[in-house]
Structure 1
């Protein structure tokens, strides 16, 4: 094994490994305070177990939301648990205008393609006009 290969293996150990835990435990308190001043927890590494836990939490939130809605309650859809390196979803979704909805439903039902929906060449996408 080369030194480079050993370095790559050691650097890519999970955060909860014995080596990384021992290295963390050896850092003096003053150094820890200095390092934590500009630290951003949202950019930290997550282990595979933490990612799986986040998936479980998201699934449980979805199940709770569905159960509340099915039983006639009012609830807003749950936001996914924030993960490091994953940007949050944008809140402002754009909705189709009534004319765009009608054109899409006509297209799905196999109806006439006149009006807001336009014929296009194969392989080319023709977008519906949007109201800004």
Structure 2
């Protein structure tokens, strides 16, 4: 089909996306097909530039924060179409730390 090969920022692809329900857009995002997202390549590059500026601002704040003060959390990158939300890093609990320690000490044998 010719339509599938149109650039994502074309009028036809934009009209097709605008006609989709939120559930259909979410399903595409879950499949990880950014080429079917709502942004053009230029918008993706602009988002990358915004992320870089936010990161630089964060570094500047960290450098100028007193050592004993709490540093600000790093900025979250802008969500891109077709990409799911970032997963939180797993936290090591006492129970999982003990299990890991036992495994390292040969407890699995």
Higher relative contact order (CA 8 A, sep 6+): 2
- Structure 1 residues 1-132: aligned runs within 5 Å: 7-8=1-2, 10-17=3-10, 20=11, 24=15, 35=19, 38-39=21-22, 43=29, 44-72=37-65, 74-91=71-88, 93-95=90-92, 116=102, 117-118=104-105
Q: TM-score w.r.t. structure 2 length?
A: 0.54
**CA root-mean-square deviation:** 3.8
5+ long unaligned stretches in structure 2:
30-36
Q: TM-score w.r.t. structure 1 length?
A: 0.47
| Distance in 2, Cα, partners of 1:93 & 1:69 | 24
5+ long unaligned stretches in structure 1:
1-6, 25-31, 104-114, 120-125, 127-132
What is the count of residue pairs matched by the alignment? 88
Q: CA deviation at 1:82?
A: 0.8
Based on CA coordinates, which of the two structures has the bigger radius of gyration? 1
Query: Quick check: 2:9–2:39 contact (8 Å CA) kept in 1?
Result: no
